[in-house]
Amino acid sequence: QNRIRDWLSPVDPQSNHLAARKLCQYGTGRWFTEGKEFQDWLKADKSFLWLYGIPGAGKTILSSTVIEHVSARFAKEHGSMLAYFYCDFRQASKQSATNLIGSVILQMADQKLSVSQDVQDFFWAKSQGGPPKLPDLTNLLRHLLTRIPKLAIVVDALDECADGLQALMLETLRELSVINKVNLLVVSRDHLTIK
């Protein structure tokens, strides 16, 4: 299992999430999670929402609040899944589209046994050829989506992704945003490249 994790994505978004949660005060972000735009995003069959703000505005704390809110909501909905990814300038070399999709797939595998089996099969079929390739991972993700009713993905601090990797990350997110069953929320600074 650890070999599969290491191969698919060396990024552990949970450590970033736990660090953000420690800074969160009770009620933080309720204005956003109770707002119409967010509720519409969450209810839709496929949707994209971009949340942006100035540096230091608390976007990462808000992302962690959104993740907790969606997690609690999906716990009541049979089969809906949540995955998240924190871009972090301190780990710039790990902020690739391949690691993003790999991390999303790993989080899905942690939530459903049949998805986990598909991921293991993928690993045994593809791992001998070196690191995973983005098109293969994207195809696997599309296949996994046939097994679930909905997937919400939260990507925090997209602007912290290294410039050389940002274009492919943006293209990958654009592809994800049009897939049925995917609700994508991207959080970043109001960055011209991302816009």
pLDDT digits (tens, 9 = 90+) for 46-105: 999 999 998 889 999 999 999 999 999 999 988 999 999 999 888 876 789 999 999 999
Q: Which pLDDT score, from 0 to 100, does residue 67 have?
A: 98
pLDDT at 155 exceeding the cut of 90: yes
Class of the CATH-defined domain 2-188: alpha beta
pLDDT at 195 exceeding the cut of 60: no
pLDDT band (50, 70, 90) for residue 191: low
Three-state SS string over the chain comes to: CHHHHHHHCCCCHHHHHHHHHHCCCCCCCHHHHCCHHHHHHHHCCCEEEEEECCCCCCHHHHHHHHHHHHHHHHCCCCCCEEEEEECCHHHHHHCCHHHHHHHHHHHHHHHCHHHHHHHHHHHHHHHHHCCCCHHHHHHHHHHHHCCCCCEEEEEECHHHCCHHHHHHHHHHHHHHHCCCCEEEEEEECCCCCCC
Q: Which pLDDT score, from 0 to 100, does residue 56 have?
A: 85
Per-residue pLDDT averaged across 180-194, rounded?
84
Q: Which pLDDT score, from 0 to 100, does residue 91 have?
A: 81
Per-residue pLDDT averaged across 171-180, rounded?
90
What proportion of the chain, given as a percentage, has pLDDT over 90? 73
pLDDT digits (tens, 9 = 90+) for 115-149: 999 999 999 999 998 999 999 999 999 999 999 99
pLDDT digits (tens, 9 = 90+) for 11-40: 989 999 999 999 988 888 999 999 999 999
